[in-house]
Structure 1
């Protein structure tokens, strides 16, 4: 409570002139849906699948359009995004309180609560050269971490077209709407130093008029939670660009390295950059790895998103391939032990709303060749987001940082969210999930190792919905989830959970 009091006093005495937060964060799925639509119709000319997403280019492109020439659907999206930008400029001090019947098992884009009870006090400030945000949280009865934290806080310095920042920011990398295989906001944000491009100033192709907008971001974070290898470092890199109109491509790399008892010098990081970490393959020899010289645990992949129209009806396709450590399998495979995500988006009008609708499927059930049988023929997975040295895996504070459904899982999700400038927004998702499909956990009695959702196979059917309403300086969000879980040789489980959140802009 002392932390909350000090943060509240900081807000009271924080009277500097305030502009917009430089980033669009991961807390508003409705804002993201409208931004994506404006990119699809060509109004926004910047990559939009990497969050935090800079406001700079969005604000520039919105200022350049004449709203009277737009169709009704696009006009609604422009008005909504402009309204959110206006709120960000005018209101930067917020108090948020939420309560739920249960802790949330997994957290998707636009869902910023994880615990039954949550109180947040935040303020930010920006000038032409600097930006700061202080965000303090109080989560009583948090089973995974401290009751108080500074998630979402950061300090940033603008140098030319670059932003240098330090803080704890949620990241969502990729076009996935329900989940992503690389980084999501499922786990709490870890402290990190980051470097990002401020504006996607395009590169011109010589002797043509063709330009390619591009952006890049990289960070080095410290995994300072309870884990097998303490103080592990996490390096992340993402480069995305629009090679042609309506096509966005993203390339992502993540690597765990260093930490207590592990090499952490510059030459080790150079080996990480080179990808020299597959024992007996393109990395150290088996003998060198046995002596502890394996530089790290690396994941890498790419994603694409393409939008078009069919019979004058808009649609989009997106695909992600994201791989764990492993040598190439040959053939068409350019990665190692890759898993996949595929999605289809479209739009429809119903109940006086325009809706973004999508179907998304993911698979994280990998039979790694260095697993139980060593040749990929075992029925036991337990390798995606895992590592034999960094045994806590790609997890932080008890949650996986990638797919919100953990490893050894498949998901099929049908969703819809409103595209509207009205004060009321609606989101609905129907999820069919197969969790922990191999019915196995690496360490069922050790919370630092293995699947964080379930130690046994679970088929879960979930209907989730939420309604968000804004009124003056207030924003209210109410949601409900209806769950039906089926287990092998056990009774089925049915339950209903609900939550409510209230935000006030001072």
Structure 2
């Protein structure tokens, strides 16, 4: 994030510190609040979209104020009480500040939505505020090696039903719990300028009434300079709507463009957005089949359908991401993720399968190792070397079974088991020698427990990996982590 932007954010935080109202988004204080929105949506108590993180409070807050908790199933009631509690805090308190310390026995290879982080250790100081139409958050993250970043910071202004934001915050696009193929929190958040709808309520316009509840966001971001093509740009957009009760549809589009040696003028973004083609490798004249799109594109479609059996919600969902010729979406040759979830004794249980084995475009034979890769942008769909989407890389498939439970007293417990197969993987042996072109099979068991004591929140968890490379023996690795957060309201 540019220094001038950081100075503006810091100035806004301290200047308005006596008249603030906290975040415009659900989950930026506690990611589990997004889960609570999903629960109430699946039980039919909220009419909103819920497959994009973060979601705006506007609209959801109105519905929460009208909820009648009597007669609610216990699972939905727990989520409703948590959301209402945080909504009351937003109206009553003038600021949300916190200090968070995270530590682990080693850096995690695979991150998760609200479990272990990527770093081995981190200290975070965060203050989140709101004054009239202005919302700000400043997060200072300190790592043991002396590095510092401002991830999770933003400056946003409310423009009617739209929100203009500059900053870098975690995002999660898609209905799955264990992974997102397009935007996840596996990598550090990208600094972006974003225009997003500030509500997911149905439009009052009769022309848009058929969409039902809907949400949209469009963002332009800057990637890091330590890439094969330094300072590349990124376009990210998503539209999601709920046209009929129980069915949520999402469309996403990502494009990496510009950077050193590539079309990087302001007008070039319009060529990206219109799928303009040019001759590859700077050839002056070429035939149509030798042309390639400006930028590297990914296009995604996802859906989630909720129905009831014996008064219990069941969810079927899937996500398809195509990389290559974005003008011709190919479901048959796309990375995919699909799953089913329901509730058992008040806990959400989910079973999910994902696959990033995708054949290369125009390949004579079935050549893979293509997903998240690009001939021009050879650093791939990554930010500081970590995938922006599924952290299992390309040519990987995963089967995961998980359970997530919220308790009345605010405690949370989550556990999962995953089987992962990565073909043509690249790993590092214990002597740091790079091993390429191998097949790795991983069985992973992970979980955490989170509890609250007054202004303190403690999370402890562990991840056990059993990895087998080709026909070699199985290697076991245990990572233990903890996170302690102190809230200053």
Relative to structure 1, is the Cα distance of residues 297 and 12 closer, same or farther in structure 2, using a 3 angstrom cutoff? closer
Report how far residue 455 of structure 1 moved: 6.4
**Structure 1 gaps, min length 5:** none
1:98 aligns with 2:102: yes
Q: Does 1:217 align with 2:217?
A: yes
| Residue equivalent to 1:65 | 67
Question: SS of the residue aligned with 1:78?
Answer: helix
Conserved? CA contact 1:8–1:121, under 8 Å: no
Shift of 1:201: 3.6
Distance in 2 between residues matched to 1:408 and 1:124, nearest whole Å? 40
Other structure's SS at 1:156 match: strand
Question: How far does residue 288 in structure 1 lie from its aligned partner after superposition?
Answer: 8.2
- Match among 320, 339, 345 for residue 343 of structure 1: 339
The answer as to 2:385 corresponding to 1:377 is no
When the two structures are superposed, what TM-score results if normalisation uses the length of structure 1? 0.86
Contact 2:34 2:53 in 1 (8 A): no
> 2:221 & 2:23 partners in 1: Cα distance?
22
Q: Partners of 1:476 and 1:454 in 2: how far apart?
A: 39
Q: Map residues 198-217 of structure 1 onto 2, 5 A cutoff.
A: 198-203=198-203, 212-217=212-217
Query: Which residue of structure 2 lines up, in the alignment, with residue 323 of structure 1?
Result: 322
Residue 464 (structure 1) aligns with = 446
CA displacement at 1:72 relative to structure 2: 2.6
**CA contact 1:328–1:334 (8 Å) conserved in 2:** no
Aligned partners of 1:495, 1:208: CA distance in 2, in Å?
52
For structure 2, list consecutive stretches of 5 or more residues without a partner in the other structure.
none
Q: Would you say 1:473 and 2:473 are equivalent positions?
A: no
Let me know the Cα RMSD of the aligned residues.
3.2
Alignment of 1:505 with 2:487, yes or no, is yes
Per the TM alignment, residue 126 of structure 1 is displaced from its structure 2 partner at its CA by: 0.3
**Aligned partners of 2:275 and 2:294 also within 8 Å:** no
Contact 2:200–2:215 (CA under 8 A) maintained in structure 1? yes
Match among 123, 130, 136 for residue 127 of structure 2 = 123
Pair 454,363 (structure 1): closer, same or farther in 2 beyond 3 Å: farther
- 1:495 corresponds to 2:477: yes
The SS at the match of 1:496 is strand
Shift of 1:277: 4.8
Q: Provide the rounded CA distance (Å) in 2 between the counterparts of 1:328 and 1:297.
A: 12
Distance 2:435 2:179 in 1: 15
Secondary structure of the residue that 1:188 maps to in structure 2?
Answer: coil
* Contact 2:324–2:361, Cα closer than 8 Å, also in 1: no
Q: Distance in 1 between matches of 2:287 and 2:258?
A: 20
Distance 1:208 1:85, change over 3 A: closer
Matched, 1:417 2:408: no
Separation in 2 of the partners of 1:195 and 1:453? 43
C-alpha distance 88-327 of structure 1, shift in aligned 2 (>3 A) = closer
Q: How many residue pairs were aligned?
A: 474
TM-score when normalising by structure 2: 0.89
| CA distance 1:153–1:453, shift in 2 (3 Å) | farther
- Secondary structure of 1:67's counterpart equals coil
Deviates more, 1:261-270 or 1:197-206: 197-206
Which residue pairs with 1:272 in the alignment?
A: 272
Q: In the aligned structure 2, how far is the partner of 1:11 from the partner of 1:164? A: 17
Provide closer, same or farther for how the CA distance between residues 287 and 222 of structure 1 changes in structure 2, counting only shifts above 3 A.
farther
1:257-315, Cα deviation, whole Å (9 max, x unpaired): 111111023543223212345979xxx98568989x74100000110001011233321
The CA distance in 2 between the partners of 1:88 and 1:454, in whole Å, is: 51
The match for 1:171 is: 171
CA distance in 2, matches of 1:11, 1:97: 22
| Contact residue 133 and residue 154 of structure 1 kept, 8 A | yes
Partner residue, 1:366 = 358
Q: Which residue of 2 aligns with 1:396?
A: 383
Contact 1:306 1:316 in 2 (8 A): yes
SS of the residue corresponding to residue 326 of structure 1 reads coil
- The 2-side partners of 1:68 and 1:471 are apart by 27
Measure, in 1, the Cα distance between the counterparts of 2:126 and 2:148: 13
